Amino acid sequence: MTSDTLYSIPVDKADGTTTTLGEYDDKLLLVVNVASRCGLTPQYGDLQALQEKYRDQGLQVVGFPANQFNGQEPGTNEEIQEFCVATYGVDFPVFAKIEVNGENRHPVYDVLTTTPDASGEAGDVQWNFEKYLVAPGGSVVARVRPRESPATDEFVALVEANLPVRV
């Protein structure tokens, strides 16, 4: 799949309407599969902090809730939205719940999971909060496994190195 296709794949918003990631084609896109009842859920706060700090330099975080890892995202789309805003002040888009692995894997993740991580391993998402950085124009520049917090110096440096707007 080409990068143009990543931006043209339909994605459902939490309110039931459909859009694409095309509105972010000039941004550094940080795509994360998220869950509300996971030990890694506090990463929502780190993701929001990145969004706030780097928004004006072209970072856009987007979340895709998935309930495939020990049922850690059981809520409805509406409940997920309420949790994200009330608990972590999330103002980045959190789309409708999807599957990130298996035969019903969302097409966005069909594209993303072909990207290898730092050790060269591609394939299925390992757990909640796996992170993908997509450069403006659509090339996936990094895949970061779930346990690496988006607040680490290494992750922040990766984001800063790929921002489309320098200050």
Known catalytic residues are 38
Report yes or no: 161 and 54 within 8 Å, Cβ to Cβ.
Answer: no
**DSSP helix/strand/coil, 53:** helix
Q: Which residues contact 130 (CB under 8 A, 6 or more apart)?
A: 32, 33, 100, 143, 144, 145, 146
Structure tokens at 75: 């809520």
Q: Look at residues 148, 166, 158, 153 and name the one whose alpha carbon lies nearest to residue 43.
A: 148
